Amino acid sequence: MKEFVEFIVKQLVDKPEKVKIEESMPNQNTIGIKLEVEKNDIGKVVGKKGKNINALRTLLTAAAAKNHHRATLQLIE
């Protein structure tokens, strides 16, 4: 899941080398992903009215559901 999110986010931002992603599993069926980007790129990841981040969360949820997991994505400022 980490690589999937990393690939998509690096296509959206101006400074892909500043993208940091942490993946954790709080329990057996849940995957938590924390995303950190350059301050100037936060708007590009969020998008207008949050459309980009919501679309990314939807894709992540669908990909995790294939493996019978639940996924959460958190954008850290």
Query: pLDDT digits over 9-34, tens only?
Result: 999 999 999 999 999 998 999 999 99
Our count of domains for the chain comes to: 1
**Residue with token string 């992540």:** 60
Q: Which domain holds residue 48?
A: 2-76
DSSP-assigned states of every residue in 11-67 = HH-S-GGG-EEEEEEEETTEEEEEEE--GGGHHHHH-GGGHHHHHHHHHHHHHHHHT
Prediction pTM value: 0.87
Query: pLDDT digits over 43-63, tens only?
Result: 999 999 999 999 999 999 999
Using DSSP's 3-state secondary structure scheme, residue 68 falls into coil
Looking at residue 50, which CATH number applies to its domain? Answer: 3.30.300.20
Distance CA 31, CA 14 (A): 27
